[in-house]
Amino acid sequence: MVERANKPKPPTLAATPGLPPQPTVTFSDDNSRVTAVLPTGESVEVLLYGATVISWKDAAGDEKLWVSEAARLDGSKPVRGGIPLVFPVFGPPPSQAEHPQTAGLSQHGFARSSRWEFLGKSTSESLMGPGKGATDHGAVKLDFGLSSGSEGLDPQARAHWPFKFNLIYSVLLSRESLTTSIVATNDDDKPWDCHVLMHTYLRVKDINKVEITGLDKASYIDKVDGAKTKTEESGKLTITGETDRVYSPVDGPVCVVENGETTYSVTRDNLSNVVVWNPWADKAAGMGDFAPKDGYKNMLCIEPGSVSTWQSVEAGDAFEGAQTITIHQ
């Protein structure tokens, strides 16, 4: 056979003009987690168990979330750290008399203790569209699903929360921020109630040098002082001991300031509460999966949620909520 002199060469990806580098999405060998990396180096890692975000790094590789060194990542226990998702009940379940629907569930519900399904990814162009600037920087969204029919559903849900539901949880990584959002749809023919909360463990350098802004004049329930309702009087909240508060702030960012510099700002969409939690020394000492024991100095939970009242979701309706955490250098 004679070679044609001007035989056209097959196009190669590298040579394709105008195609910007794309984020990569990979699965771990055991299929337990999915990792997304932007072309500029930022990354996020999500464990299918709980759809728990267990790592979020900036382009320099600096970790933004705190995960306990003793956290169980094998699906035997909710993860101590990262971003566990709380649904459909926040905190210890209420009594049968208070709220029969959720009384039989365990603390913080079953979303964080079920194995979710990875539904797919969307990357920069489909997310942002051309001309919106974001394509220059890259972004990737990972979608996860859990429903009443899911194989991975924690058995406590089937036994104690026998409703039809469908949850879609999305994790959107862009260069400076991470957004997590949930759509909780009622597929049943009767209403059900839920709480939703994103239990974010932010990594901080030294809790003693942290101030939290954005809570000024907000009312809160102080869970370490007999669940009294109080009003935040400090424009710059400091953490000096065990702290467990359910705030109802006005809209606007809640910021973490370290050494006088804002390091994170957290904004909310349709989530009216922010829980601020740090277990401090004694409580951390009593938690088997909390390590190192002085790790409370390097973490601060800022947890956007909808937990001070029940969200009643009608048949066929959905509850949606989201948080965006932005890194400030």
Ligand X SMILES: O=P(O)(O)OC[C@H]1O[C@@H](O)[C@H](O)[C@@H](O)[C@@H]1O
Q: Which of residues 181-200 bind ligand X (CB under 6 A)?
A: 199
Catalytic residue among 42, 45, 232, 303: 303
Beta carbons within 8 Å of 109's beta carbon, 6+ residues apart: 86, 87, 88, 89, 90, 102, 195
Q: In the bound complex, what is the minimum distance in angstroms from residue 320's beta carbon to ligand X?
A: 21
Is-catalytic flag, 160? no
Compute how many residues bind ligand X; rule: CB under 6 A.
Answer: 10
Q: Which of 223, 298, 310, 320 binds ligand X (CB under 6 A)?
A: 223
What is the DSSP pairing of strand 273-278 with strand 243-248? antiparallel
Taking the mean position of all CA atoms in its chain, how far away is CA 57?
14
Interface with ligand X, residue 26, by CB under 6 A: no
DSSP letter (8 states) at residue 39: T
Catalytic residue among 199, 211, 233, 242: 199
Q: In the bound complex, what is the minimum distance in angstroms from residue 166's beta carbon to ligand X?
A: 25
Q: How far apart are CA 14 and CA 319, in angstroms?
A: 43
Radius of gyration of the chain (CA): 22
145 by DSSP, 3-state: which?
strand
Binding residues for substrate: 80, 107, 112
The answer to whether 232 and 215 have CB atoms below 8 angstroms apart is yes
Q: Which of 56, 110, 163, 277 binds ligand X (CB under 6 A)?
A: 277
Which residue's CB is nearer to ligand X, number 211 or number 222? 222
Q: Which of 127, 152, 151, 154 is nearest to 141 (CA)?
A: 127
The answer to whether 255 and 268 have CB atoms below 8 angstroms apart is no
Q: Which of residues 159-178 bind ligand X (CB under 6 A)?
A: none
Q: In the bound complex, what is the minimum distance in angstroms from residue 180's beta carbon to ligand X?
A: 15
Which residue's CB is nearer to ligand X, number 33 or number 108? 108
Is-catalytic flag, 199? yes
Q: How far apart are CA 21 and CA 202, in angstroms?
A: 29
Q: Which of 144, 244, 311, 323 binds ligand X (CB under 6 A)?
A: 244
Interface with ligand X, residue 107, by CB under 6 A: yes
Which residue's CB is nearer to ligand X, number 106 or number 147? 106
Which residues sit at the interface with ligand X, rule CB under 6 A?
78, 91, 107-108, 199, 223, 244, 275, 277, 303
Active site (catalytic) residues: 199, 303
